[in-house]
Structure 1
Amino acid sequence: MIEELEAGAEAGADALGPAALLASIKASRSIENTEAARQLDLAARWADLHPPESIHTAASFAVAGCEHEEPIAGPGTPLVAEFCVTELGAVLGITSVSAKKLIGHALELRHRLPRLWSQVHAGRVPVWRARAVAEVTIHSTPALTREAAAFVDAQVAAVAAKIGPAQLDRLVAETIKRYDLATADPAADPVDGYLHLDPRHVTIHDQDVHFAGTVRLEAEVDLADGLDLHQALAHRAATLKALGSQESLDARRAKALGDLARTQTALDLFQHGHTNSSDEGQDLPVAREVVLHAHVDATLSGDTTIFGPTGRLEEGQRLLLLEQLRSWCGDSHTKVTVKPVIDLNQPKAAPGYAIPDRIREHVALRDRVCVFPWCARPARGCDIDHVTEHDHDADAEGRPQPGPTHTDNLAALCRFHHRLKTHTAWRYRMTAPGIFEWASPHGHRYRRDRDGTTALDPPEAGPDPPRIPSPRR
């Protein structure tokens, strides 16, 4: 039936003329904006259902790791129960961090930017623009008071549909000055002692790795530093060309930027191109100290190891080409460590509660990331959790251990989701090595495996489940 409807829709679209097709696209965008605004309102209502009072019960005391109240928007917005973001994120198919940001933007707009909130729901401003404003007012340094945020709201309301990042930054800077939110420092600004908003930053988008093994970098630096950097890159690019590099100017400038961090690559190229002595350069320190975990399939052919053309890079969970790995390892006296292959099909166990490094490594390689639905935090930075809780008294009392330290009972969970599993009604089980099924407090179910997260049959609408009170000391 669904395929027939889709085929019918496609046939209808094919029958439309240019004007009708443009009108249909415009109507579709209008529906999209309306639903995005509705989703923003529902996110704020979800926060309303989870105030701090929903966490604590009478005569209970906070225990380390338990849920706490958290401000996720600017001053003057209501606090929310920390763990409420997870179920919203799960049903939307986004991470807990993204769900937290969605709720924070909704509360910021509703409580501190009401004019913009009204324009969003009137269809005059798209949600993504309003959220961009909310993101800036939430994270302004110094923090905007409620009065200062109201001033930004009043100024933005008239131009919200077309304001850009630069204009918004200038407006926030003016607001900080108008409301005297920054500490005056005559030395920093001899005119009026105002500390302006500092836009300097260097951002490396290491989670967005290109197929060619490159990442995007953006920066905002002082003018003098920028000119110095430009001169240094031009000089190093020219040096690389003089030393025999056949790469383009852009590629040489990009490599020169890496040289500034390593300080060694240009010298290596000179030595390799102008001397045959194997002893020269042996005393030079290792220039590159970045740690990467690369996994490449290999087969044995007699005494020869044959590597496959592709592999996997743990950092960023990206495809890795063998040629890229060879170029990195052959550059700048890079130190290479080869570890023995771990058979993930061979389960491992240890007595007691502590998790040995060999088992921790096994779990990290198997799970790759935190196994909570949609979470993508690398497993190497996660806690290793006993899926079925370890009973510390079982051995002493002569009872079978329900939660052994065994790879079939261990999973990688980031600290936030580890706390969530321990202190809330979220539950999960391992159905096969590396495959997990989760159940949320409201009955939603998810399967998490090496390919990602799959939402299982949704629950029937029914009464809300009781909240688990905070444990007592």
Structure 2
Amino acid sequence: MAEFCVAELACALGLTARAGRLLLGDAVELSHRLPRVWERLQAGDLPAWRARRVAQQTVPLPPDGAAYVDQHVEAVAHRVGPAQLGRLVDEARVRHDPEAAEELRQARLGARHLDIGVHDVRADGTVAVEGVLDLADALDLEHAVRREAQALAALGCMAPLAVRRSMAAGQIARGDTPLDLVLTVHVAASALAADAAPGELARVDGVPGFVSAAQVREWCGRPDARVLVRPVVDADQHVSVDAYEVSDRLRHLTGLRDVTCVFPWCTHHADRCDRDHVVPEAEGGATCSCNVAPLCRRHHRHKTHGRWRYRVVDPGTYLWTSPHGYVFLRDHTGTRDVTATAGAPAAHPAPAALALAAAPRLSAPEEPSGDRASAA
């Protein structure tokens, strides 16, 4: 576009030249490389600040990467949070620009640090600790701190959990606790080969998002690492038990298949979820892989006491109905609002349109602080 038109447009809108450039840059990114998000913005059911946040994240991506984000964020653009959007952009970068992704990974590894403020002691004798760690190191540290905090409670320590965690760090530093830590990673065997193609991804149990296979190869190459290779579990197999209690095998299988709580939009990891009988046992429901799904405790209560209902379409695919008739389809790709196609009353409004502006304006107000919305 013409160089000097930016300043004129910015003045007409009451913006600085820099703000005008950013505004036009976001508009170009949306209209040319994010057509699905742009269409929602033009339709008036997506706030401008949310559309602009997506555009600002996708600018460094190649066209295929931007299209990947556009496809996967379209349905949840009205609610996706910064963390989830960041993970999606990182995934697009690894899939469609692996060289840039590897450069960024190495740069981030170079930024690791751990600062213990022993030279800035507070009057009450405490110091601040802050750092950036490798994921494997962070998970090992988290597991150790959690276990030691639990041990302190078992020994009679009445301090709050946060205080016990801080005490646990000292116990670990003094070598007062044995460590036997495990990192479970799901990755294709081909991704671990030295000549693996770039862009391979892996998933770490209990952690949102993904890591690159290159990172997994580094972990496996550490001299103190012991690697145990387990065979792939077929998530489509049928497992049944003749009891109400869910067996460890069935719990593991449903966790691998569904990954998270299967309530619409929930991202609570399956390892920390209850196992729910979709059709209750009292109504003839079996304890089997086609009738058991992970639900976090809160959403388990919604289903049991809150008049939410769901059914299994296929193993891993669930159709939910809310107390007021909203209908959501949840599968391995996330959650979709299918109220309009499920025969709901015509007067029933779409959830995405409940609190949106009447017309889109790219110069919408700043994003409200503290927004913690999440998406599957």
TM-score (norm 2): 0.47
Task: From the CA coordinates, give the structure whose radius of gyration is larger.
Answer: 1
TM-score (norm 1): 0.38
